[in-house]
Amino acid sequence: MTTMRISHSGETVLIPPQLPGYLSDTHALNRIVGKPTDDDVKAIHSVIRTQNTMAHLPTFYNPDLSMQLSQHLFGAQLAIYRVNYSMTLLPGERNVYKPPALPLHVPGTLSEVVGAPSHEEIKLVQGALRGLENLANSPHLFDPDLSMQLSQHMFNLQFARYMHDSSEGNFVSETEPEAPNLAVPQESSTAETSGSPGERANVPKEPSELAQLGETMNDIREIMKDIQVTMRSTQDTTSESKDVLTTMSRMLKLIQGHQCSVAAMDKYYHIYKNPVNEEGVSALEYGLPQLRYGYYQDGLRYSIYHCDDIMARYLKFFGVGTNLMEGGEKPKLIKGKYGEAEKLLLKAIGVGPYY
């Protein structure tokens, strides 16, 4: 698929990849003519962010689409760079790259970069971009405008680094001979133009602006690789953050599940508990009263004090003891099964022994 064209007016036209249904239902990418707007670039970032969240789902994740989206973003950011910065600096001239301001909750401090950036300056921007992308699941902290600006700043620095290395001759072999610069006369006689076809073929043609752009696009593949590595790193960091949040959520559920109130009377202890099931739902949220049970020092045993209906609802709440109930949607405890139900519920809340 052709991703870039030149209009009759000479403007660059960027053509986005076709989105599958699970993305096109909530996202839309339009052709970009000339310099992309902020909304154009934010739309591309949003699609990429959504696509990256599906990397662990083989049914939905499409590596070809990810590559095309990355290429489309690259084309848009290059178009912005070509408008905002000079591609042909005179000796002694240097571009100035000013970063966006970072809020307090995004780690890092960025300064403006003059000329070619250092490795440390690039790493600082990468760190800030990763820190911001980690907040993508927190709408009150994540700023899509800042994400777009940071990503563009990252591109600007990488491209500036490329332009500097190119001007230093790092991409050209020193032993490669230069092509002769043959002058083409403005007017020529019949005798001067009557040479052999081979001689005429040696006269170089002046490259067009489109050809120069094509050469530039081919030369900067390394920058594309850097951008993709940064995006993958951001995605990996986001996945790690999700794992940490999941672990914290489980810990909070365990803490809530073990909270209880105890009333002591002689050798008897009455305990009231709001247990939490495997889905993280508390009994009170489920519509149940607190689970009430007691501990008897004389018999060294626990007992639950609830009617049969509450016992059946607690069995359903914990997802246990289906063989002890009847009645479908509104289960009832089978007659004579109270003792077995009591043992299952005590085991579900982690107390015993279960005589």
Both tokens of 324, joined, read: 């002890």
pLDDT at 147 over 80: yes
Q: What is the pLDDT of residues 45-71, one digit of tens each?
A: 999 988 888 777 777 778 888 889 999
Q: Report if residue 182 sits inside a domain.
A: no
> Which residues touch 265 (CB under 8 Å, ≥6 apart)?
none
- Assess whether 127 and 55 both reside in one domain: yes
Do 147 and 22 reside in the same domain of the chain?
A: yes
* In a shared domain, residues 9 and 125: yes
Could you tell me if 238 and 333 lie in one domain? no
Q: 340 and 233: one domain? A: no
Residue 110 in domain: yes
Q: Which amino acid makes up residue 153?
A: H
Residues 220 and 308 in one domain: no
Is the domain of 228 the same as that of 278?
A: no
Could you tell me if residue 77 is inside a domain? Answer: yes
Residue 298, domain extent: 259-349
Q: Which two tokens stand for residue 237?
A: 């960091």
Cis peptide before 353 (omega within 30 of 0): yes
Q: Scan for tokens 């053509």, then name that residue.
A: 15
The total domain count for the chain is: 2
> Quick one: which of 41, 67, 28, 34 has its CA closest to 148?
41
Considering the domain boundaries, does residue 240 fall inside one?
yes
Q: Could you say which of 192, 222, 245 is where a domain stops?
A: 245
What's the predicted TM-score (pTM) here? Answer: 0.48
319 domain-assigned: yes
Greatest Cα pair distance in the chain:
126
- Tell whether 37 and 127 lie within a shared domain: yes
Mean pLDDT of the chain: 77
What share of the chain has pLDDT > 90, as a percent?
23
**Whether pLDDT at 329 is above 50:** yes
200 three-class SS: helix
pLDDT range class, residue 175, cuts 50, 70, 90: low
Supply 83's token pair: 């408008």
Residue 170 pLDDT class (50, 70, 90 cuts): low
Which residues touch 87 (CB under 8 Å, ≥6 apart)?
163
Residues 238 and 263 in one domain: no
User: Does residue 303 lie in a domain region?
Assistant: yes
Q: Is residue 185 part of a domain?
A: no
**Contact yes or no for 274/305 (Cβ under 8 A):** no
- Structure confidence at residue 205 as a pLDDT band (50, 70, 90): very low
Same domain? 159 vs 50: yes
Give yes or no: residues 241 and 264 share one domain: no
Pick 136 or 188 by higher pLDDT: 136
Rounded to 5 degrees, φ, ψ at 72 are -65, -40
Pair 139, 33 in one domain:
yes
